[in-house]
Amino acid sequence: MRLWALALLCVSWLPAADTLDFYFIDVEGGQATLIVSPSGQSLLMDAGWPGFDNRDADRIAAAAREAGIQQIDYFVASHYHTDHIGGVPQLAAKLPIRNFVDHGPSVESGERADSLFATYAAERAKGNHIVVKPGDRIPLAGVEVTVVVAGGERITKPLRGGGKANPLCASAERKRDDTGENAASVGFVVRHGRFRFADLGDLTWNKEIDLACPKNLIGPVDLYLTTHHGMDASGPPQIVHALAPRVAIMNNGAKKGGSPGAWQVIRQSPGLEDIWQLHHSIAGGAMNNAPEQFIANIEEQCRGNMIKVSASPDGSFTVSNPRVLHTKTYKKR
């Protein structure tokens, strides 16, 4: 029986010919999201932390093996913080990175910021460097990847499906402006036929409101990676509810992200069916965590289980949690 179950798991994780596959990799409160297009090309958003005996690079490499890829075609640095680009040198030692995509120079300075950026830039110099601006396309073969924010700027024209007035803007409350790297995050929307996915990196509150107000520039999506790990500094209802995702993936750690306030904003989003989490949030307690079958890692000290999503061009998609062999398919709308 156990061998049969394992065989089913292995089969379910094999990429289908026309699916767009996402591997949400547990890097303990950082980000590493591997996207593999139907053509077999790959895009990796961020590379997690440095150190920890190559923990994050090893987990990304394991996801690459699952996906059947041998290189990263496009590495996107959402922004220059340690939990997002610190793992680049260790990853580059395991997998060739062909193209480095980012927002250009760092907006932060100081000894630590300068050292981090210099280390990243040294690896970037070994590949092709692409600086993106809002409205640019990342040429991942087989799908459409549109940059919606970068370097503190946003798109000025709505994407297809966006542009409607947002009634929640009347109640929007802005916070103190963030002038650091989080607010400079590269964020994009991926389209595969009728399926749409949004990843805004660690974009912060006011910048997200600017994307959603007075008009919703992105429009509705099927799948949403919660901004900034599900922290209260990001994720105002004006953007989350305007995106109206069917499913949200929270890339939180046990003690980072997954805040009760952010979780509730997502939970209350119109049309939301489920939240899936990379970790059980200690701060979330019993009321602000998904059921265990929707959580990849329950314990703080964990094996680093990932979450996989396979999306079809008709808009349907399947989410898998290998920890408990749980999968759920969301039918096309």
Residue 318, beta-bridge partner list: 310, 329
State residue 333's pLDDT score. Answer: 85
Is residue 269 over pLDDT 90? yes
Is residue 125 over pLDDT 90? yes
Please state whether beta strands 137-138 and 144-150 pair in parallel, antiparallel, or not at all (unpaired).
antiparallel
State residue 1's pLDDT score. Answer: 36
Q: What is the pLDDT of residues 155-210, one digit of tens each?
A: 999 999 999 999 999 999 999 999 999 999 999 999 999 999 999 999 999 999 99
Phi, psi of 106 (to 5 degrees): -70, 145
Q: What is the pLDDT of residues 288-324, one digit of tens each?
A: 999 999 999 999 888 899 999 999 999 999 999 999 9
Is residue 9 over pLDDT 70? no
State residue 303's pLDDT score. Answer: 87
Residue 130, beta-bridge partner list: 101
State residue 302's pLDDT score. Answer: 87
pLDDT category of residue 17 using cuts at 50, 70 and 90: low
Residue 191, beta-bridge partner list: 144, 196
Q: What is the pLDDT of residues 229-238, one digit of tens each?
A: 999 999 999 9
Q: How many beta carbons lie within 10 A of that of residue 250, not counting itself?
A: 28
Read off the pLDDT of each residue in 237-242 and give the average, rounded to a whole number.
98
The closest alpha carbon to 262, from 170, 277, 327, 189, belongs to: 277
Query: Which has the higher per-residue pLDDT, 8 or 162?
Result: 162
Please state whether beta strands 223-225 and 247-250 pair in parallel, antiparallel, or not at all (unpaired).
parallel
Please name each of the domains of the chain with its CATH number. Answer: 21-326 (3.60.15.10)
State residue 148's pLDDT score. Answer: 99
State residue 25's pLDDT score. Answer: 98
Q: Provide the whole-model pTM.
A: 0.94
Three state DSSP letters for 76-141: ECCCCCHHHHCCHHHHHCCCCEEEEEECCCCCCCCHHHHHHHHHHHHHHCCCEEEECCCCCEECCC
d(CA 166, CA 330): 26
Quote the distance between the C-alpha of residue 325 and its chain's center. Answer: 22
d(CA 209, CA 268): 17
Q: Give percent above pLDDT 90 in the chain.
A: 93
Amino acid at residue number 250: M
